[in-house]
């Protein structure tokens, strides 16, 4: 019955999309290869699929969605490099056919073309880059593949280092900024969706299967984008040292001092590179705040005063920045900066308070959970009445780190679990199931696991 319904449905669509072709044959072939693909029998699916691809190109988008699976199977099972390249090239061709016959598919097929070549070591870096560049410029909304964004940047950096295409340092910065902005967009979409789910979860409401799936997928994807961002920063850090960056930006200051966007980018670049202690950073930050006072310019002045050891003034500007930010993610970053840099380990209670402000603004801001967990772990000798209770705080640190839902959070939690009392020690102590309250600055409690 299910197969018959698929045939009827496909037939109705095909009547409007297939001109002068045997729609019934198209529907039958579609049903055959679709069922074979469901059964993972991609080898048998190839022949009826190829018939559909050649004779029913505009019949149904399943031809291309299933075709991707079939051709990837053939790529994985190719016997020789030449055979593999033939299949990869056919996959690239098929992505083009998909866009031709279903132009509104929103599948990001230009990116898929490039990554098919890259991941299978087919073609040249220039060919891959040109496809990615075209995708970024003409189909930016569907350029959502984190790895592809990094490949796009990496090839550009390699060309800069090789002295190709006349790429200058400013061009490199521009490319970095463009891709960073795209990462910001994708992270915001993912985190906003995740925030709504986490807020529901905080109320004690049970998530639907779809929500649980989205939560897991978004946490994985946010982790991937963070990894890519770190890799990009590492790449550019090797090229844009303070020794190189300060004279480069300083030489352009007089010309650009009326350009708010240039000032913002320059200040951000100096800050990220750890060059914010240089007088140029203060000059750029103050000029930007006078020209166009914003949350970002207030943040830069906060950094500037922090570097001058004027903590009170730095805190004033950081709080001003957080209040001015309308974007919850940016607000969270400011509070997190205060937590780590203004207070840190010198005032753990205030550090946690600002980290919690970051989480209140952005529940998916996992770094704040990891930081709070670190504060707890670093307080093992400050809290607890005996050695067992002192080490029990690692359970609190582990559970806090896991809330991040990231690989960094899970890794931290695993390390804290190893430092907590063992099962043998719990058994010997006779304290299984007991609630231990930490009366130090932590002011939290933890329940000893039952054996």
Whether the CB-CB separation of 6 and 37 falls below 8 Å is answered with no
Percent of the chain with pLDDT over 70: 95
Instruction: Tell me the pLDDT tens digit for each residue of 86-106.
Output: 999 999 999 999 999 999 999
Residues 272 and 298 in one domain: yes
pLDDT band at residue 21 under the 50/70/90 scheme: very low
Residues 273 and 384 in one domain: yes
Residues 251 and 225 in one domain: no
Residues 224 and 175 in one domain: yes
- Alpha-carbon gap, residue 275 to 287, rounded angstroms: 17
pLDDT band at residue 397 under the 50/70/90 scheme: very high
Residues 177 and 196 in one domain: yes
Residue 372 domain flag: yes
Cα angle, residue 39 at apex, residues 37 and 41 outer, rounded to 5°? 65
Residues 358 and 256 in one domain: yes
Residue 130 domain flag: no
Total domain count, the chain: 2
pLDDT higher than 70, residue 119:
yes
pLDDT higher than 90, residue 4:
no
Instruction: Tell me the pLDDT tens digit for each residue of 27-56.
Output: 999 999 999 999 999 999 999 999 999 999
Residues 247 and 386 in one domain: yes
Residue among 232, 131, 192 at smallest CA distance from 330: 192
Residues 271 and 356 in one domain: yes
Instruction: Tell me the pLDDT tens digit for each residue of 247-295.
Output: 999 999 999 999 998 998 899 889 888 899 999 999 999 999 999 899 9
Residues 316 and 385 in one domain: yes
pLDDT band at residue 237 under the 50/70/90 scheme: confident
Residue 120 domain flag: no
CATH number at residue 374: 1.25.40.10
Residue 379 domain flag: yes
Note down the domain range covering 354.
242-390
Among 224, 239, 254, residue at a domain's last position: 239
Is the full-model pTM beyond 0.85?
no
Among 215, 239, 263, residue at a domain's last position: 239
* Structure confidence at residue 202 (pLDDT): 87
Write out the DSSP string of 42-77.
Answer: HHHHHHHHHHHHHH-TTT-THHHHHHHHHHHHHHHT
| Helices (H), ranges, 122-259 | 125-138, 146-161, 169-202, 209-239, 242-256
Residues 197 and 326 in one domain: no
Residue 92 domain flag: no
Among 390, 415, 439, residue at a domain's last position: 390
Residue 5 domain flag: no
């Amino acid at each position: 019955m299910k197969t018959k319904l698929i045939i009827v449905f496909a037939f109705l669509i095909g009547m409007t999309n297939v001109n002068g072709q045997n729609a019934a044959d198209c529907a039958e072939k579609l049903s055959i290869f679709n069922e074979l693909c469901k059964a993972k029998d991609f080898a048998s699916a190839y022949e009826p699929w190829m018939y559909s691809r050649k004779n029913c190109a505009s019949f149904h988008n399943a031809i291309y969605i299933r075709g991707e699976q079939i051709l990837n199977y053939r790529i994985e099972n190719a016997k020789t490099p030449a055979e593999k390249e033939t299949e990869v090239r056919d996959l690239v061709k098929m992505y083009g056919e998909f866009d031709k016959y279903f132009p509104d598919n929103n599948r990001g097929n230009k990116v898929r073309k490039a990554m098919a070549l890259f991941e299978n070591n087919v073609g040249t870096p220039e060919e891959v880059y040109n496809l990615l560049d075209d995708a970024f410029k003409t189909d930016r909304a569907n350029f959502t593949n984190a790895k592809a964004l990094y490949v796009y940047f990496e090839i550009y950096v390699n060309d800069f280092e090789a002295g190709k295409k006349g790429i200058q340092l400013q061009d490199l910065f521009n490319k970095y900024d463009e891709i960073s902005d795209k990462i910001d967009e994708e992270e915001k979409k993912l985190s906003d969706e995740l925030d709504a789910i986490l807020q529901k979860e905080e109320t004690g409401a049970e998530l639907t299967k779809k929500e649980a799936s989205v939560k897991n997928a978004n946490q994985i994807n946010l982790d991937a984008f963070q990894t890519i961002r770190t890799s990009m920063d590492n790449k550019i850090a090797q090229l844009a040292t303070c020794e190189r960056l300060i004279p480069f930006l300083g030489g352009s200051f007089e010309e650009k001092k009326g350009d708010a966007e240039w000032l913002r980018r320059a200040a951000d670049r100096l800050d990220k590179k750890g060059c914010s202690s240089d007088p140029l950073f203060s000059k750029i930050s103050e000029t930007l705040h006078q020209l166009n006072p914003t949350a970002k310019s207030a943040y830069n002045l906060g950094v500037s005063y922090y570097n001058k050891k004027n903590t009170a003034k730095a805190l004033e500007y950081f709080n001003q920045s957080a209040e001015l930010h309308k974007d919850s993610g940016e607000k969270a970053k400011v509070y997190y900066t205060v937590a780590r840099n203004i207070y840190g380990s010198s005032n753990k209670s205030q550090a946690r308070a600002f980290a919690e402000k970051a989480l209140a603004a952005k529940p998916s801001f996992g770094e704040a959970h990891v930081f709070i967990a670190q504060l707890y772990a670093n307080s093992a000798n400050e809290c607890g009445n005996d050695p067992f209770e002192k080490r029990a705080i690692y359970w609190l640190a582990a559970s806090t780190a896991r809330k991040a839902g990231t690989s960094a959070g899970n890794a931290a939690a695993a390390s804290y679990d190893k430092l907590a009392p063992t099962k043998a020690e719990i058994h010997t102590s006779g304290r299984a199931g007991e609630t231990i309250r930490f009366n130090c600055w932590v002011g939290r409690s933890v329940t000893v696991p039952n054996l």
